[in-house]
């Protein structure tokens, strides 16, 4: 399966339906996975949720429409699937930095968010060893920091380093990293946690429910290697393996100079 070809099909479907209700089930069907997995793949590869991408494309087109014709704001709002002129105006101003009513006088201030196009010539010939494990409920203790899809690649390593320096002598090496999504696919916000598998009173208790996990590993704990493998997992491994992912935190288990990636599956 060429995931980038399939993602271009997803993008084209979105592009052809910006003025209609976009069915996520159709996007998932194009990729051959469930909706949650489709949204996960899209967000990790594109560094934004699919809903955010759709919103930005609609608002970009709406700005062009307002600058080029005499349509009323409510007409443009309804055209791009907003329920009211008020909701549209609020989103429009947040995206473009100006109110829709000012577009005619300030067209130079409009932002353009272009359609994403993926290079379909990227080869998908990865040979990654993986295993499926089942784990009972896990009780972990740690702390987290709020971040976003765009910032996590910088925020997570920085937070891990700071926490390791602060607590290594007291509690030993950090055992787990964890990504927790806040209303995943509706928001760009998420949290990155570092955790220990022993009770630490000054840390927050976090319960990981009993689950089946897809596990793969790399012989490195380097931040760049971890980020590269995380991206590769969603771009090249998930679409081939065809496992449906669960709405659950994603774990990284650090031990013996190895990083294990734990992804909860149905």
Residue 91: name the closest of 39, 52, 65 by CA: 52
44 and 135 in a common domain = no
- The reply to whether 94 falls in a domain is yes
148 and 25 in a common domain = no
The pLDDT value given to residue 1 = 60
Q: Please write the tens of the pLDDT for every residue from 28-75.
A: 999 888 888 888 888 878 878 899 899 999 999 999 999 887 789 999
Distances (CA, A) of 102 to 89, 109, 258: 11, 10, 55
Dig out the tokens for 35 from the structure.
């909706």
Taking the model in full, what pTM does it have? 0.70
User: Domain span at residue 37?
Assistant: 3-109
Instruction: Please give the Cα distance from 172 to 191 (Å, whole number).
Output: 23
Instruction: Please give the Cα distance from 12 to 21 (Å, whole number).
Output: 14
**How many distinct structural domains can be found in the chain?**
2
60 and 176 in a common domain = no
- The reply to whether 119 falls in a domain is no
Q: Please write the tens of the pLDDT for every residue from 149-180.
A: 778 889 999 999 999 999 999 999 999 999 88
pLDDT, the chain, mean: 87
Distances (CA, A) of 94 to 73, 87, 115, 138, 146: 16, 11, 20, 41, 21
- Quick count: other Cβ atoms within 10 Å of Cβ 72? 11
pLDDT band at 189; cut points 50, 70, 90: confident
Task: Say which residue, 47 or 262, is predicted with more confidence.
Answer: 262
Instruction: Please give the Cα distance from 250 to 180 (Å, whole number).
Output: 7
CATH code for the domain of 101: 1.10.10.60
Across the strands, what pairs with 134? 212
Residue 265: name the closest of 27, 37, 1, 50 by CA: 37
Q: Please write the tens of the pLDDT for every residue from 191-214.
A: 899 999 999 999 999 999 999 998
Instruction: Please give the Cα distance from 192 to 145 (Å, whole number).
Output: 5
Instruction: Please give the Cα distance from 245 to 248 (Å, whole number).
Output: 8
The pLDDT value given to residue 186 = 58
Task: Tell me how long the chain is.
Answer: 266
| 3-state DSSP percent of the chain in helix, strand and coil, to 5 | 45, 25, 35
180 and 139 in a common domain = yes
| CA angle at 105 for the pair 104 and 107, rounded to the nearest 5° | 65
- The reply to whether 125 falls in a domain is no
Above pLDDT 70, what percent of the chain? 92
């Amino acid at each position: 399966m060429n995931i980038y070809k399939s993602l271009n099909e997803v993008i084209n479907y979105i592009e052809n339906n910006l003025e209609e209700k976009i069915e996520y089930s159709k996007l998932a069907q194009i990729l051959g996975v469930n909706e949650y997995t489709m949204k996960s793949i899209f967000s990790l590869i594109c560094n934004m949720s699919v809903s955010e991408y759709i919103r930005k494309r609609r608002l970009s087109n709406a700005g062009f429409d307002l600058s080029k014709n005499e349509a009323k704001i409510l007409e443009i709002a309804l055209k791009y699937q907003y329920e009211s002129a008020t909701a549209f105006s609020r989103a429009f101003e947040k995206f473009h930095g100006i109110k829709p009513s000012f577009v005619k006088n300030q067209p130079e201030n409009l932002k353009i968010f272009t359609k994403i196009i993926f290079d379909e010539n990227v080869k998908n010939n990865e040979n990654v060893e993986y295993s499926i494990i089942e784990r009972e409920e896990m009780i972990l203790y740690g702390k987290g920091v709020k971040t976003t899809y765009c910032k996590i690649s910088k925020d997570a390593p920085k937070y891990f380093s700071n926490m390791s320096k602060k607590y290594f002598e007291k509690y030993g090496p950090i055992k787990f990293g964890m990504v927790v999504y806040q209303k995943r696919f509706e928001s760009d916000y998420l949290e990155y946690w570092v955790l220990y598998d022993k009770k630490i009173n000054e840390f927050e208790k976090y319960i990981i429910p009993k689950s089946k996990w897809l596990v793969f590993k790399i012989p490195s704990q380097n931040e760049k290697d971890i980020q590269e493998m995380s991206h590769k997992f969603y771009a090249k491994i998930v679409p081939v393996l065809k496992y449906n992912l669960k709405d659950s935190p994603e774990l990284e288990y650090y031990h013996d100079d190895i990083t294990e990636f734990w992804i909860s599956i149905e």
